[in-house]
């Protein structure tokens, strides 16, 4: 298949251009022989000297000791050793203006032989469980409380006193303020209906009609509940709902104001103002109710009643004999690191917080290595500003929101940050915030993500707002399980985001939910332009109207030398045509304003620097939908391309049916050479068993 391109010369220029400006090597800091040693142990004493024989007790005391050591001996290599054991976290530790040097970074690390055995915890083990039916609390509970508990569930529920685990803040509908309960790595479910998945609402009944994006509804939060929704929710003190209220790419929490019960008709739900849905409420949206004691009926569910001062829980079989932990650390961060340089945190485990692990702001060369981060309610790690900060060989999992927020460098001057992720795993994320809570968000200029694995989410693994980004040798799988109109990687509505490379990655099982109309592995949405997708392997990707790669209105994108196996389609397009031209040339058009802010105020694409770096910008307002799809191997896909159009250069693509084709067989050098593709290094993809600490 081949279509003509009116800008063939420009496409040749793009294919020949250097796309590797951000391809900087990731250089790890040295581990110098310590000249000052500070020791910390769970049974230590913050009034002690911090020696191995008389260790300190807390992370906060270790930071003060390290700062004092650097002040006393500015040239010394300082190392803080944490001994094996559990360290309870009760207050945020602030690290401000602490600096090592490039050859002598300050190390906060596990003691030799203790890697993986040092745990900083924001959880507490719940004690004193007893059967609800046999408890004094139940015998003395007022009738109105007893009526909230399902009779058939009373004999299954365990209860414990809440007082030892009470937090200052608690709001299950506010990210970072939900107090979660865990048995091991398994999060228990705040009592809800339906027990799994979603119910479907009836008609929206607000007074102000809406019609947007093919959906009809109303502006006000008044709607018919599902016909089988139980009638007990208005007996609850804080009944909550989560829903995809209008679009299946935008969900949020709402609180119920009241419920109108009708004879022989579904209940009518009135949402409490202010509404969180930005778009209104469509007819027949997906939702579930939660924080409902009256729906506590299934193993794995729990409910916290702060007024009654009790926790209620139905354990799964065998869980009542295991350790049950409640998150008690309710601060936004375990650590805040500001204006620091050359610090390393290595070999430690951070576990359990209603917020996140660390906010790293305005700092240079901060490394998190050989570390486990798990069971946090919000985004685990935030890196803003500074340079050369990142994670190496770190596992991040079980997150209410996303994994890592990376922002640095200067897009206007194309100054690279050097921030990075290398040999990391991020999985089981966006558990509470179901959309736009990715494994990593990259913004700014000059960020590298390599040899990582991202898996287990209702939506995207990555959201991008960058120039000069490289994502390579990563394994993306089991993503976009629920939301619609999304991608494993997603970027949108800024055609100045250029020079980004997505290469040598494996994408697998990105198929969307049962009602999804649009799910892709790589989604270049709303005039995203100037990306290169090279040497990737796509397996079982794309849903309904999308291919494994989806280009929506952008131009100057290159899809080259990729393998597509058993995908819904290889590449799909939605062309903007005249809409694109108006976006750049018609001040009365709705997309003109934000596009001009992005291209001419946030950055200046007319500057000599930008024109030299991205020569295709000379025709940015012309020739919409010019893209290049060349030399790809498309195997066992029912459709190769969707909505190709006549502005796409499409050459050298091989479309085949091959029985028994596997990733391994297709990636053999001889097989790739036979169809005209360059080598794809399958064996290099994913995290490797590397370590920063060697002891």
Residue 399 is predicted with a pLDDT of 97
Query: Mapped to the 3 state alphabet, what secondary structure does 421-452 carry?
Result: EECCEEECCCCCCCCCCCCEEEEEEEEEEECC
- For residues 363-390, one letter each, b for 16 or more C-beta atoms within 10 angstroms of the residue's C-beta and e for the rest, the string is bbbbbbbbbbbbbbbbbbbbbbbbbbbb
Query: Mapped to the 3 state alphabet, what secondary structure does 656-670 carry?
Result: ECCCCCCHHHHCCHH
Angle of CA points 78, 45, 332, to nearest 5°: 75
Residue 13: both structure tokens together: 């220029």
Would you state the torsion angle of the CA atoms of residues 639, 641, 642, 646, taken in this order, to the nearest 10 degrees? -140
d(CA 542, CA 538): 9
d(CA 516, CA 526): 19
Q: Following DSSP, what letter does each residue of 92-145 receive, concatenated?
A: PEEEES-B--SSS-EEEEEPTT-TT-EEEE-EEE----EEGGGSHHHHH--HHH
Distances (CA, A) of 668 to 460, 633, 642, 674, 692: 30, 13, 28, 10, 32
Residue 518 is predicted with a pLDDT of 86
- Max alpha carbon distance in the chain (Å)? 83
Residue 512 is predicted with a pLDDT of 84
Strands 93-96 and 286-290: unpaired
Give the number of residues written for the chain: 695
Q: What pLDDT, in 10s, does the model give residues 550-571?
A: 999 999 999 999 999 999 999 9
With residue 346 as reference, give the H or E element that holds it: strand 341-346
Structure confidence at residue 23 as a pLDDT band (50, 70, 90): confident
Read off the DSSP letter of residue 244.
E
Strands 158-161 and 130-131: antiparallel
Residue 22 is predicted with a pLDDT of 53
Provide the residue ranges of all domains of the chain, joining segments of one domain with +: 8-24+416-684, 124-191+296-326, 199-294
Residue 544 is predicted with a pLDDT of 83
d(CA 257, CA 269): 8
Read off the DSSP letter of residue 299.
T
Distances (CA, A) of 514 to 21, 120, 543, 647, 648: 41, 40, 10, 33, 31
d(CA 412, CA 430): 31
Q: What pLDDT, in 10s, does the model give residues 520-529?
A: 999 999 999 9
Q: Are 419 and 440 in contact (CB under 8 A)?
A: no
Distance of CA 438 to the CA centre of its chain: 2
The β-bridge partners of 415 are 410
How large is the average pLDDT for residues 38-62?
A: 98
d(CA 138, CA 132): 6
Structure confidence at residue 164 as a pLDDT band (50, 70, 90): very high
Percent of the chain surpassing pLDDT 90: 93
With residue 325 as reference, give the H or E element that holds it: strand 324-327
HSE, CB side, 13 Å, CA atoms: give it for residue 355.
Answer: 20
Is residue 24 predicted with pLDDT exceeding 90? no
How large is the average pLDDT for residues 584-592?
A: 93
Residue 214 is predicted with a pLDDT of 86
From the list 389, 479, 394, 386, the residue with the least C-alpha distance to 429 is: 479
Structure confidence at residue 10 as a pLDDT band (50, 70, 90): very low
Residue 9 is predicted with a pLDDT of 47
How large is the average pLDDT for residues 586-615?
A: 95
Structure confidence at residue 11 as a pLDDT band (50, 70, 90): very low
d(CA 442, CA 406): 5
How large is the average pLDDT for residues 650-679?
A: 97
From the list 481, 448, 485, 476, the residue with the least C-alpha distance to 464 is: 448
Give me the chain's average pLDDT, please.
95
Neighbours of 252 (CB within 10 A): 17
Is residue 270 predicted with pLDDT exceeding 60? yes
d(CA 370, CA 142): 52
How large is the average pLDDT for residues 384-404?
A: 98
Structure confidence at residue 515 as a pLDDT band (50, 70, 90): low
Is residue 18 predicted with pLDDT exceeding 80? no
Mapped onto helix, strand or coil, the DSSP state of residue 64 is: helix
Residue 479 is predicted with a pLDDT of 97
Distances (CA, A) of 47 to 50, 78, 453: 8, 19, 43
Percent of the chain surpassing pLDDT 70: 96
Structure confidence at residue 6 as a pLDDT band (50, 70, 90): very low
Q: What pLDDT, in 10s, does the model give residues 234-258?
A: 999 999 999 999 999 999 999 999 9
d(CA 646, CA 475): 33
From the list 61, 35, 26, 67, the residue with the least C-alpha distance to 47 is: 61
Distances (CA, A) of 48 to 53, 98, 284, 291: 9, 22, 64, 46
Is residue 19 predicted with pLDDT exceeding 60? no
d(CA 396, CA 241): 28
Residue 21 is predicted with a pLDDT of 56
Residue 571 is predicted with a pLDDT of 98
Residue 3 is predicted with a pLDDT of 36
d(CA 403, CA 438): 7
Residue 11: both structure tokens together: 């496409």
Residue 516 is predicted with a pLDDT of 65
């Amino acid at each position: 298949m081949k279509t003509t391109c009116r800008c063939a010369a420009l496409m040749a220029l793009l294919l020949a251009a250097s796309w590797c400006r951000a391809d900087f090597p990731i250089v790890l800091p040295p581990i110098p022989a310590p000249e000052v040693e500070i020791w910390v142990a769970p049974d230590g004493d913050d009034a002690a000297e911090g020696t191995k024989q008389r260790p300190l007790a807390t992370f906060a005391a270790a930071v003060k000791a390290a700062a004092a050591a650097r002040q006393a001996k500015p040239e010394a290599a300082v190392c803080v050793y944490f001994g094996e054991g559990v360290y309870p976290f009760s207050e945020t530790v602030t690290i401000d203006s602490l600096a090592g040097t490039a050859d002598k970074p300050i190390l906060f690390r596990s003691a030799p032989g203790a890697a993986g055995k040092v745990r900083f915890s924001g959880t507490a083990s719940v004690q004193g469980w007893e059967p609800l039916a046999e408890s004094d609390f139940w015998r003395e509970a007022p009738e109105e409380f007893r009526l909230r508990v399902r009779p058939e569930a009373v004999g299954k529920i365990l209860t414990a006193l809440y007082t030892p685990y009470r937090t200052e803040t608690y709001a299950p509908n506010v990210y970072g303020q939900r107090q979660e309960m865990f048995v091991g790595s398994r999060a228990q479910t705040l009592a809800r209906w339906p027990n799994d998945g979603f119910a479907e609402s009836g008609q929206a009944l607000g007074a102000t009609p809406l019609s947007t994006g093919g959906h009809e509804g109303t502006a006000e939060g008044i709607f018919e509940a599902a016909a089988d929704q139980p009638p007990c929710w208005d007996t609850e003190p804080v009944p909550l709902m989560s829903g995809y209220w209008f679009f299946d790419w935008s969900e949020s929490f709402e609180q119920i104001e009241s419920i109108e019960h009708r004879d022989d008709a579904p209940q009518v739900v009135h949402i409490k103002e202010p509404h969180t849905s930005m778009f209104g409420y469509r007819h027949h949206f997906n939702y579930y109710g939660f924080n409902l004691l009256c729906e506590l009926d299934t193993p794995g569910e729990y409910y916290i009643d702060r007024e009654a001062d009790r926790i209620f829980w139905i354990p799964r079989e065998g869980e009542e004999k295991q350790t049950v932990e409640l998150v008690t650390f309710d601060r936004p961060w375990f650590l805040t690191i500001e204006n620091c340089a050359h610090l390393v945190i290595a070999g430690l485990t951070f576990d359990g917080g209603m917020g996140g692990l660390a906010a790293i702001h305005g700092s240079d060369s901060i490394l998190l290595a050989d570390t486990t981060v798990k069971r946090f309610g919000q985004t685990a790690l935030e890196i803003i500003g500074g340079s050369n900060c990142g994670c190496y060989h770190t596992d991040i999992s079980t997150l209410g929101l996303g994994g890592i927020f990376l922002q640095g460098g200067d897009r206007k001057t194309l100054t690279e940050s050097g921030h990075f992720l290398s040999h990391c795993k991020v999985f089981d994320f966006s558990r509470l915030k179901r959309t736009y809570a990715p494994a990593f968000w990259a913004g700014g200029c000059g960020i590298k993500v390599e040899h990582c694995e991202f898996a287990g989410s209702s939506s995207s693994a990555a959201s991008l707002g960058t120039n000069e980004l490289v994502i390579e040798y990563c394994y993306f799988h089991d993503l976009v399980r629920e939301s619609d109109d999304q991608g494993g990687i997603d970027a949108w509505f800024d055609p100045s985001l250029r020079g980004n490379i997505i290469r040598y990655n494996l994408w697998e099982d990105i198929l969307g939910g049962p009602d999804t109309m649009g799910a892709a592995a790589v989604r270049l949405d709303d005039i995203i332009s100037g990306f290169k997708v090279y040497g990737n392997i796509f397996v079982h990707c794309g849903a309904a109207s999308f291919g494994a790669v989806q280009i929506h209105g952008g131009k100057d994108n290159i899809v080259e030398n990729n393998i597509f196996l058993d995908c819904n389609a290889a590449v799909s397009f939605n062309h903007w045509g005249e809409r694109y031209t108006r976006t750049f040339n018609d001040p009365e058009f709705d997309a003109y304003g934000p596009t001009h802010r992005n291209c001419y105020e946030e950055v200046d694409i007319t500057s000599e620097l930008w024109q030299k770096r991205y020569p295709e910008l000379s025709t940015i307002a012309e020739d919409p939908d010019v893209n290049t799809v060349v030399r790809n191997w498309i195997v066992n896909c029912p459709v190769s391309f969707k909505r190709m159009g006549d502005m796409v250069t499409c050459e050298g693509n091989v479309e085949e049916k091959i029985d028994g084709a596997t990733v391994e067989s297709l990636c053999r050098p001889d097989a790739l050479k036979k169809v005209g593709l360059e080598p794809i290094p399958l064996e290099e993809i994913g995290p490797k068993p590397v370590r920063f600490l060697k002891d």
